[in-house]
Structure 1
Amino acid sequence: MTTIVALCIGVVGVVMLVVAQVLRRRASRMPDRGTPELAALHAEVRDTLDRAGWVASVKIYRRRTGAGLLEAYQAVDRIAHDETRGRGSTR
């Protein structure tokens, strides 16, 4: 009986960890674009892209946000494409 209870507690714990991770990722994909912190991060990532390239930009994004590698790469890619589109439309 004790084994079954321990197994159930373990399963519930794992499910809670998975749900927490899914919610964390979902929340990180929906940033408030109006915050000064986010604008500063985007500016820093763009500057680093120009100076040092993709690897350094992804490292900075990960350090500042706590994002995973793939998530950070995708965010830097979005930032780079937003910058490219912005340059193309203003000139």
Structure 2
Amino acid sequence: LVSLGGYPLAYCIHEGNKYEGHTMLPTINEFVSKYGLEDFVVVADSGLMNNANIAELEAHGYKYIIGAKIKNESQEVKNWILEQPKRDCQMVEYDKGGGRRL
């Protein structure tokens, strides 16, 4: 786990053959409990995320950002992304429903 500035805050060591998607949430939960965190954002790549991890993040009320591949999105989402004008410093948002958005 790292700070906003990229400084290490905590780490855990696990067996080399253990899927890291199963280690992320216990590590986060322990860190949150230990330091009494209330406002933070989990940022992870898609390799750490699966539907079970996302559901647990949402069940705990954790905010999160997941890196993902456009090719894994529906054709509707792909078309929407490609139709967006490319402007510096401008964000757009797509509502996927259920509180999830791009």
Query: TM-score if structure 1 supplies the norm length?
Result: 0.29
Pair member with larger Rg: 1
Specify which structure has the higher proportion of helix: 1
Specify which structure has the higher proportion of strand: 2
